[in-house]
Structure 1
């Protein structure tokens, strides 16, 4: 674990006892602090107490006496739509509020690094869609190239739960807007911005606040290299803000669809081919069409982001290309579950919003589409331009009937449950078609999270195809 520095002998309150909260508590103890733990859930408190921790009710008036800081788990609101009462009390008393990401960055470097010929590096990935795939792909490429590497953050382990990095090691972190918004320290060596689309807007009081939370990783983090997706106006703005001019190769612009040949350094994908350009000259190209773990234009953008990040660390294009072909993809993100009679079954349960569902719908030519769940604000009317590849929709969950009204003339069937949707789609699918789970909705009406929804789809498909 990463022992938290600068907390020796201090009382540090920890609010939220999920994965990151418990990892924070352990790291605080390792750093010589006394953690005061609290969670509104009795089950979470019991789990912490089973590890030997003592819980302290942070809702009491005197709870913050002698407390040096409050560390907050990412799921707990600290500003919008309203601060959690414990956080509000800490702010009223002037107690610094931080999260595990802030503790990580202030504690990562140690005196041992003075003896390293090559110090560890940190790559951070943020954005709306593609963060997890890009993070995992960077980690995979590094590992395949023989570089020591660990992956953590919003994927895998909590950041304070990783091993102290050794010489030349690369830490790859996926960071959500919840994590970048509150961290008091952000100092990545390479920062990646994939894209931006509406999500978590209640938590950030709109798109401006959402983008501002992402932007902190770059504006306040001061990375040596910034990899910026410029397919949205926010990315173009961010790249412009960071670069001293078009030729500034500290900013690597990436795109899926645009030709970017007028900048100091760019990586883009068009018609299935990735191209790297530097100072007006193409220096590498990779055919992505046969990379099975990265189907569709959205995954080609992820490939561009990962390519740019590891190129900035000195990896060769041939090393990267070989690693792309061995990448199996992530569960619930354009994951090929199986095939029967020429019909492929793809699990993209992570496609919980309209933008990510649109990208999934553009990845395949003929789709039997399983969609629905707990619909988000605005529904799925915005998906109309992307339904041309849908042979038929099989709608499930709370929003099934609302979705049916929003998909126009697209053939559909109200299935309500995953069991029936998989069975009906498999029964009707023809060779060359894809049965695609891309819900465009949250899972909470029928499942505790998108992972469980994807696991249900996967289990039913595998039972069906044998």
Structure 2
């Protein structure tokens, strides 16, 4: 646990008592704060109270006496589409609102660091797609290379549940736009921006607000090094804003398709090869084609981002390359579940938006595509250029029929459920085909989250193996 600094004897309110909220209560208490808490769910409040959390109804004005700060969980709206009533009350009273990420950045360093030979570092990863894989890959490389490392944030352990730093440690954080948008302190040593595509637009008041939330990671704290994906206009803009000219190597530009040989420092992937360039000269190259845990161009972008971040903290190219080969990938992200009768079954349930699904569709050929769920604004018309690899689509969930209207000439079936889709795709598939779950939609119509959706797909595929 990371005890929160600077809160001794203060009354701090916590809103939201899920995983991060309960960890925040514990870390504030360890820092000497008097903690009161609230959650809209009665069952959640009762469970927290049973653990000793002091529950106070923050919707009532009299509850705010002596409260010096409100710490909100990331899933709670603080601005768009409108602030949660408790957060609106804090704004009206002038009570500062923060989240666990802000508390972590202001509390991670402590007096023990003066005795370390090598100061700990923080690598923070944000973007629309690839954050989790990039974060996990960086952590894997560091660990394989013998560097002490922890991973947390939006993946793995909540930030305040991480262990205090040890000499030379690197903490790798995945940070969502919900987390970066509200945090009052953001000071990573290395900040990574993977890419940007429309997502969570209701929570950020549109695409500009969404990008602004991501940009805060770079603008607020001024990282020593910034790793920026420049395959979209927003990344190009961000790299331009942070760099002081062509010779400034504090910005490492990355790409999954462009040759970047004019910047002071760049890493890019083309035709399955990763290249690092320094001051116009190639410094290293890695053949990514045989790395089974990183299939497809979208994972090659993740590899570029992870490689650049690891180089920024001093690892050598050959160390990184060796560690890449032992990376198994993450569940629900281009995860090879099985190969049955020459047919591959791939679980990319995390492809919850059109951009992520497009990347998955480009990574494989002869695809039996399982798509659908709770569709997002804009539909799937932007997938049209990538449907050439799709032999047939099997559509599930709430938006199955809406998706069907946007498939053009691509053959499809309305399967409705995952079980029907897997059964139909398996019956139709021929050796060399890939049955790919890449929904291009949220899961909430049939599953509580994308993980449960991917687990159901995996269960059904395993049953095929056993039959």
TM-score by length of 1: 0.99
Partner Cα distance (1:73, 1:28) in 2 = 14
Cα distance, 1:47 vs structure 2 = 2.0
**Partner residue of 1:413?**
413
**Partner residue of 1:457?**
457
**Partner residue of 1:319?**
319
Partner Cα distance (1:132, 1:317) in 2 = 22
> Does 2:69 match 1:60?
no
Structure 2: segments with no counterpart, 5+ residues:
none
**Partner residue of 2:111?**
111
Structure 1: segments with no counterpart, 5+ residues:
none
Cα distance, 1:49 vs structure 2 = 1.4
RMSD: 0.6
> Does 2:30 match 1:24?
no
**Partner residue of 2:83?**
83
**Partner residue of 1:218?**
218
- 1:164-211 per-residue CA deviation (whole Å, 9 max, x = no partner) reads 010000000000001101000010000000000000111111111111
Moved more, 23-32 or 51-60: 51-60
**Partner residue of 2:246?**
246
Cα distance, 1:320 vs structure 2 = 0.6
**Partner residue of 2:401?**
401
> Does 2:199 match 1:183?
no
Runs of 4+ aligned structure 1 residues displaced above 2 Å come to: none
**Partner residue of 2:267?**
267
Question: What SS class does the counterpart of residue 285 from structure 1 fall into?
Answer: strand
> Does 2:270 match 1:234?
no
Aligned length: 466
Question: What SS class does the counterpart of residue 439 from structure 1 fall into?
Answer: coil
Partner Cα distance (2:452, 2:186) in 1 = 32
**Partner residue of 2:383?**
383
Partner Cα distance (1:34, 1:411) in 2 = 61
Question: What SS class does the counterpart of residue 344 from structure 1 fall into?
Answer: strand
Partner Cα distance (2:47, 2:464) in 1 = 38
Partner Cα distance (1:69, 1:7) in 2 = 9
Partner Cα distance (2:242, 2:367) in 1 = 40
Cα distance, 1:346 vs structure 2 = 0.4
Partner Cα distance (1:200, 1:6) in 2 = 33
**Partner residue of 1:434?**
434
Moved more, 312-321 or 229-238: 312-321
**Partner residue of 1:336?**
336
Partner Cα distance (2:388, 2:308) in 1 = 33
**Partner residue of 2:345?**
345
Cα distance, 1:439 vs structure 2 = 0.3
Partner Cα distance (1:46, 1:439) in 2 = 36
Question: What SS class does the counterpart of residue 385 from structure 1 fall into?
Answer: helix
Q: Give matches, 1:129-148, under 5 Å.
A: 129-148=129-148
